[in-house]
């Protein structure tokens, strides 16, 4: 087994999604393992409660420290990876973080719920990641796309046909437009350059489209890109037509 991922959650069934498509194939081929651990199994409360009211009052419930910490400690006996909490204080997830984490052999993800976790749990957490400045029902909703993004970067998860090298965000740019058969669909034709067989012209066309599309649709990404001299000439030619 190349990569081991444990997900600590109150709702293990939510992660059945990983049994399908590309990640499901990687699991069957033992390229990686994704194991879910039910935090509720570690509570000492006879009613299996894992949450309680916050000290000082306030709306909502807080996940208690005891079941989370005991769960983390048990998982750490067989997984020495970073404990990553899906929470609002963390760095916003992006492709750069995905690349970095995909190089780890073992990872542990903690999914919070309700109004968050007891502050004392943080001393057992190595890293916190956010999916953005908006509210979701629980950490599970954030964990699924994050784990999927990381797993796609693991060697041999994607086949050559599914290579991630030219996907959006991999190199800081949006992906260029893609077309498939038929050549003409309801009066809308595939750009002639893609039918030309001229590989250098196709490369330039794709690079230009990626640059311009990123500039126009995601200027926040575009301003982070170090443009080459060729990039500047391609954009200048495109804008001057």
**pLDDT for position 101:** 97
Same domain for 150 and 231? no
Highest mean pLDDT among 5-9, 44-48, 54-58, 152-156: 5-9
Structural domain range at position 215: 184-240
Domain for residue 20, yes or no?
yes
Q: Answer yes or no: is 187 a known binding residue.
A: no
Q: Does the residue 13 lie in any domain?
A: yes
pLDDT of res. 114: 86
Assess whether 22 and 103 both reside in one domain: yes
pLDDT at 164 over 70: no
Encode pLDDT of 100-109 as tens digits: 999 999 999 9
Q: DSSP letter string over the chain?
A: --EEEEEEES-GGGGGGGGSHHHHHHHHTTSEEEEEEEGGGG---TT---EEPPTT--SS-EE-HHHHHHHHHHHHTT--SEEEEEEEEEEEP-HHHHHHHHT-SEEEEEE--TT-B-GGGGGG-SEEEES-SS--S-HHHHHHHHHHHHHHTSTTTS-GGG-STTSTTTTSSPPPP---S-SEETTEEPPGGGGS--HHHHHHHHHHHHHHHHHHH-HHHHTT----HHHHHHHHHHHH-
Residue 170: what pLDDT? 67
Q: Which of 149, 164, 157 is nearest to 31 (CA)?
A: 157
If asked whether residues 40 and 79 sit together in one domain, one would say yes
Does 14 share its domain with 133? Answer: yes
How sure is the predictor about 167, in pLDDT bands with cuts at 50, 70 and 90? low
- Structural domain contains residue 197: yes
What is the arithmetic mean of pLDDT over 158-182? 77
For residues 27 and 135, membership in a common domain is answered with yes
Residue 131, marked binder: yes
- Tally of domains in the chain: 2
Q: Within this chain, do residues 199 and 98 fall inside the same structural domain, yes or no? A: no
Is 136 annotated as contributing to ligand binding? yes
Residue 210, domain CATH: 1.10.1270.20
Which of 127, 160, 193 is the last residue before a domain boundary?
A: 160
**Residue that has been written with the tokens 């990641």 in this structure:** 129
Which whole number is the average pLDDT over 154-172? 73
Asked whether residue 115 is assigned to any structural domain, the reply reads yes
Question: Which of the listed residues 128, 160, 192 is the one where a domain comes to its end?
Answer: 160
Q: Please check whether residues 138 and 76 belong to one and the same domain.
A: yes
Q: What is the pTM of this model?
A: 0.87
The answer to whether 133 is annotated as binding is yes
CATH number of the domain to which 33 belongs: 3.40.1280.10
Residues 63 and 11 both lie in one domain: yes
Q: Does 168 map to a domain?
A: no
Do residues 134 and 40 share a domain? yes
26 within domain boundaries:
yes
User: What does the mean pLDDT of the chain come to?
Assistant: 94
Residue range 50-87, pLDDT digits in tens = 999 999 998 899 999 999 999 999 999 999 999 999 99
In a domain, 152, yes or no: yes
151/216 same-domain check: no
Q: Are residues 218 and 156 in the same domain?
A: no
Q: Does the annotation flag 135 for ligand binding? A: yes
Which of the residue ranges 31-40, 138-147, 157-166, 190-199 would you say has the lowest mean pLDDT? 157-166
Q: What is the mean pLDDT of residues 35-46?
A: 96
**Inside any domain, residue 72:** yes
Supply the pLDDT for residue 185. 96
Same domain, 102 and 211: no
Average of per-residue pLDDT across 194-200: 97
Dump pLDDT digits (tens) for 104-132. Answer: 999 999 999 888 999 999 999 999 999 99
pLDDT band, residue 2 (cuts 50/70/90): confident
Taking 90 as the threshold, does the pLDDT of residue 12 lie above it?
A: yes
């Amino acid at each position: 087994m190349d990569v081991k991922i444990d997900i600590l959650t109150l709702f293990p069934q939510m992660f059945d999604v990983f049994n399908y498509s590309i990640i499901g194939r990687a699991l069957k081929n033992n390229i990686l393992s994704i194991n879910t651990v039910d935090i509720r199994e570690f509570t000492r409360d006879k009613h299996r409660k894992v949450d309680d009211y916050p000290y000082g009052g306030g709306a909502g419930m807080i996940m208690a420290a005891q079941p989370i910490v005991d769960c983390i400690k048990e998982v750490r006996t067989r997984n020495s990876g970073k404990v990553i909490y899906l929470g609002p204080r963390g760095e916003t997830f992006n492709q750069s973080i995905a690349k970095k984490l995909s190089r780890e052999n073992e990872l542990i993800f903690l999914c919070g719920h309700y109004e968050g976790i007891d502050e004392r749990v943080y001393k057992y957490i190595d890293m916190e990641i956010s999916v953005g400045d908006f509210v979701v029902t629980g950490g599970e909703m954030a964990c699924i796309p994050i784990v999927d993004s990381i797993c796609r970067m693991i060697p041999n998860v994607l086949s050559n046909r599914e290579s991630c090298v030219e996907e959006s965000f991999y190199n800081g740019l949006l992906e260029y437009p893609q077309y498939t058969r038929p050549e003409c669909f309801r009066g809308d034709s595939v750009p002639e350059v893609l039918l030309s067989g001229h590989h250098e012209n196709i490369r330039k066309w794709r690079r230009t489209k990626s640059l311009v599309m990123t500039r126009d649709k995601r200027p926040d990404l575009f301003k982070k890109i170090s443009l080459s001299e060729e990039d500047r000439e391609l954009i200048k030619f495109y804008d001057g037509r």
